[in-house]
Amino acid sequence: MQQSPVPPETPIYRRIADGLREAILSGELRDGDRLPGENAIMAQYGVARATARQALSVLINEGLAVPKRGSGVYVRQFRPIRRHGSRRLAQGHWSQGQAIWDADTRGRPYTVDEVQIDRETADDDVARVLGSAEVWVRRRRYSVDGRPVQLSVSHFPADLVEGTAIVREDTGPGGAYARLGDLGHSPAHFTEELRARMPHPHETVLLDLPAGTPVIAIMRTAYTADGTPVEVNEMVLDAASYVLQYDFDA
């Protein structure tokens, strides 16, 4: 047995995927609903197992569906967190005892784990921006509703923060930025460079990402009023969990 004599214009697996996608986008299948399984597709379309799998893999890699072992394939949910770029770093927030993250979650509970604080020799990129090869590095993972959503790696010039609360697990009220202020180095200007890409394997593990989920990689540099860089923060966000907002004037 072989495939039909005249190969159809579009492959079978793609037409099956198109039908399922249409059902999802039209709302016929809703968030969390179960898609037809491999066996159902095999029966309905008269195709082999691998073909049914291939159709489902299209939707999975498009981020529209999520497979659950031993259970089924389900329509993916999208309930993003709104992250304000410009506004949320307004001095009013962190100078009044609020950590930056508070402005992001809008009251939704969040947790921090996988915290690591180390003194390291910085990568070339970071060293060039900070003008300092020796840095203190704060790594952590943020979770909202029990699900990991962001990885963050902050770099501070070692000679600037040595012996301060910034190198301790609890940075105190207002977080690291307030401590920089205590030192007379309040961040006054920020640059964020942002790109989107598919996650690296270790990011897939730490953020518990299903296939088809891009990440947003942000590299933020904080400068004092006189233009001295005081922090480089590399963030990796689960793209399915975020909407980023930037406000600015002409």
Partner DNA sequence: AAGTGGTCTAGACCACCTT
Partner DNA sequence: AGGTGGTCTAGACCACTTC
Give the binding site for DNA (CB under 7 A). 1-3, 7-8, 11-14, 35, 37-40, 46-51, 53-54, 56, 67-73
Q: Select 21 or 139, whichever has its Cβ closest to DNA.
A: 21
* Range in contact with a second copy (rule: CB under 8 A) among 38-46, 81-89, 103-111, 161-169: 81-89
Distances from the Cα of 200 to the Cαs of 39, 113, 222, in angstroms? 32, 20, 26
Closest separation between CB of residue 134 and DNA, Å? 42
At 69, the amino acid letter reads: R
Distance CA 217, CA 151 (A): 10
What is the distance between the alpha carbons of residues 199 and 211, in angstroms, rounded to a whole number? 9
Query: Which among a second copy, DNA, none contacts residue 244 (Cβ within 5 to 8 A by kind)?
Result: a second copy
Name 94's bridge partners: none
- Which residue's CB is nearer to a second copy, number 152 or number 221? 221
With both helix axes pointing from N to C terminus, report the angle between 49-61 and 38-45 in degrees, rounded to the nearest 10.
120
State which residue, 3 or 121, has the beta carbon closest to DNA: 3
Task: Kindly state whether residue 197 participates in binding a second copy, applying the rule CB under 8 A.
Answer: yes
Could you tell me the smallest distance in angstroms from the CB atom of residue 79 to a second copy?
Answer: 12
If the CB atoms of residues 122 and 209 are measured against a second copy, the closer one turns out to be 209
Which does residue 197 touch among a second copy, DNA, none (CB within 5 to 8 A, set by kind)? a second copy
What is the nearest approach in angstroms of DNA to the Cβ of residue 147? 16
Q: Which is nearer to DNA, 51 or 241 (CB)?
A: 51
Between residue 15 and residue 44, which ones bind a second copy under the rule CB under 8 A?
A: 18, 21
Record the tokens describing residue 80, joined without a space.
């993003």
How would you write 24-91 as a 3-class SS string? HHCCCCCCCCECCCHHHHHHHHCCCHHHHHHHHHHHHHCCCEEEECCCEEEECCCCCEEEECCHHHCH
Kindly state whether residue 126 participates in binding a second copy, applying the rule CB under 8 A.
no
CA distance 37 to 30: 16
Name the nearest CA neighbour of 192 among 138, 141, 246. 246
- The contact set with a second copy (CB under 8 A) reads 18, 21, 50, 61-64, 80, 85-86, 89-91, 186-201, 211-212, 214-216, 239-240, 242-250
